[in-house]
Amino acid sequence: MAARKPMLILVYEPERACFDRLLADGFTPRAAMEISSYLAQSTDLAPEFGAIAEACFARGLDFHAVELDDAAGMLVGCDRGKSLVWTLTDGIAYFRGGAAPALARLYGLPTIGVDDSLFALCQDKFRSGAVLAALGLPVPAAGLARDGRWVVELQESSSGYFVKPNRLGAKIGIWEESRCRTPNEALALAGRVFEAYRDDVVVQPYVAGRNVRASFLAVDPKAGAEALGIAFVDSGGDFQTMADSMALYGDTGAAAKDEGRYAEPELVPVASLQPRAAGRIRRIAARLMAGLGLRDVFSLDLRVEADDTVHLIEFEVCPGLPCFDFRAYCRAEWGLGLADAMAETAARRLLS
């Protein structure tokens, strides 16, 4: 009998499974659609599973994509020395992808990405912000509100406030009103978020600047912060709303393309305009890798002001691999399309 080849296992939670579960939990169809849309990368990547399998085969690997609900039964029989688990979609509240790296650890399987404790941390913005501040990183101060009441009150801010759900997805806003002027307006938004999504909100002083996405994939296992891709993401708005997100990804993004409403934000390398800010972002990433344990694949969301002041907004351990910005990063940094970048990342770990 021929020996089984090393295998890359991609675990993902489909949008539809999340949508159906949210409906069963009593969410409105609109809220369920909006929440499940944050899993759009599983929808967008599924048509490329064949290309990933071909890229893996060319490198001597097997590839298996498995839905989260089937992962436990599949992972329990895997060869510890020849299997590598890559978690595509995260979550600890509305989404359940954070269970995948925990299952991998339970069965003694190596993973691409951080350990499961960071999957939980990054999906709780208030707690992760506290940890980032303890590491001395430039994160905005944060208060926490629940259903229109303060849990942790924020000090007065002359720049106004920014309000975002604490555990919902990875975006930095829901509505245009997410930037507000007074604490009372912030509490009113907290009530709206709780009613629609049953979530707390993080309230932060509004910080000025342009939106920046920093992407990282260690195709070479020895890669460090020098391999970070850092780009301004100019979408025409001050911040991304729920509507903006839904027009870019998944089934709603596909519909936007068909209707001519889709427009990819422009990506501009930060180093080409503000090299000092780019250097600061690389140092932030290096600190996160050393102090927090980020590795293999992650992204950072930041704001950069004209004077090179950098604000770290959040980190993601499951960046949107099929998104335009991550694809552009793979081409620019590694000279590879997404399927080849994923396969090469796995091959260098499984076959070395």
Task: Give the lowest-confidence range in 33-37, 244-248, 339-343.
Answer: 244-248
Pairing between strand 229-234 and 210-217?
A: antiparallel
DSSP H helical segments within 139-212, as ranges? 183-197
Please give the pLDDT value at position 269: 97
**Residue with tokens 């070479």, as numbered in its chain:** 220
Confidence band of 246 (pLDDT split at 50, 70, 90):
low
Please give the pLDDT value at position 119: 93
Please give the pLDDT value at position 168: 83
Mean residue pLDDT of the chain comes to 91
Q: Tokens for 184?
A: 């009372």
Q: Tokens for 246?
A: 């839904």
pLDDT tens track for 146-205: 999 999 998 889 999 999 999 986 455 567 788 999 999 999 999 999 999 999 999 999
Please give the pLDDT value at position 104: 97
Helix (H, G, I), strand (E, B) or coil at 185: helix
**128 vs 301: CA distance, rounded Å:** 13
Confidence band of 2 (pLDDT split at 50, 70, 90):
very low
**Residues 338, 322 contacting (CB under 8 angstroms):** yes
Please give the pLDDT value at position 278: 98
Cα-to-chain-centroid distance, residue 57: 28
Beta strands in the chain (DSSP E): 7-12, 62-67, 83-87, 111-112, 143-146, 149-152, 161-165, 179-180, 201-205, 210-217, 229-234, 266-269, 297-304, 310-316
The CA distances from residue 166 to 96, 129, 300, 314, in Å, are 16, 11, 17, 11
| Complete DSSP assignment for 218-273 | -SSTT--GGG-EEEEEE-SSSS--HHHHHTTSHHHHHHHHHTT---PPEEEEHHHH
Q: Tokens for 41?
A: 């990368």
Please give the pLDDT value at position 1: 35
CATH superfamily of 210-240+260-350: ATP-grasp fold, B domain (3.30.470.20)
Mean pLDDT of 121-129: 94
- Is the pLDDT score of 226 beyond 80? yes
**61 vs 143: CA distance, rounded Å:** 47
Question: 3-state secondary structure string, 83-137?
Answer: EEEEECCCCCCCCCCCHHHHHHHHCCCCEECCCHHHHHHHCCHHHHHHHHHHCCC
Query: Which DSSP state fits 331?
Result: I
Q: Which amino acid would we find at residue 276?
A: R
pLDDT tens track for 281-335: 999 999 999 999 999 999 999 999 999 999 999 999 999 999 999 999 999 999 9
Please give the pLDDT value at position 112: 98
Domain boundary assignment for the chain: 7-113, 141-205, 210-240+260-350
Query: Which DSSP state fits 237?
Result: S
14 versus 250: the higher-pLDDT residue is 14
Please give the pLDDT value at position 253: 55
Q: Render the burial of 87-122: b for 16+ CB within 10 Å, e for the rest.
A: bbbbbbbbbbbbbbbebbeeeebebbbbebebbbbb
Q: Tokens for 39?
A: 């899993």
**Residues 170, 181 contacting (CB under 8 angstroms):** no
Confidence band of 3 (pLDDT split at 50, 70, 90):
low
Q: What do you get for the CA distance between the two ends of the chain, in Å?
A: 24
**260 vs 244: CA distance, rounded Å:** 14
Please give the pLDDT value at position 310: 98
- Is the pLDDT score of 236 beyond 90? no
Stretch (H or E) spanning 279: helix 275-291
Angle, vertex CA 99, rays to CA 49 and CA 136, nearest 5: 105
Question: 3-state secondary structure string, 23-42?
Answer: HHCCCCHHHHHHHHHHHHHH
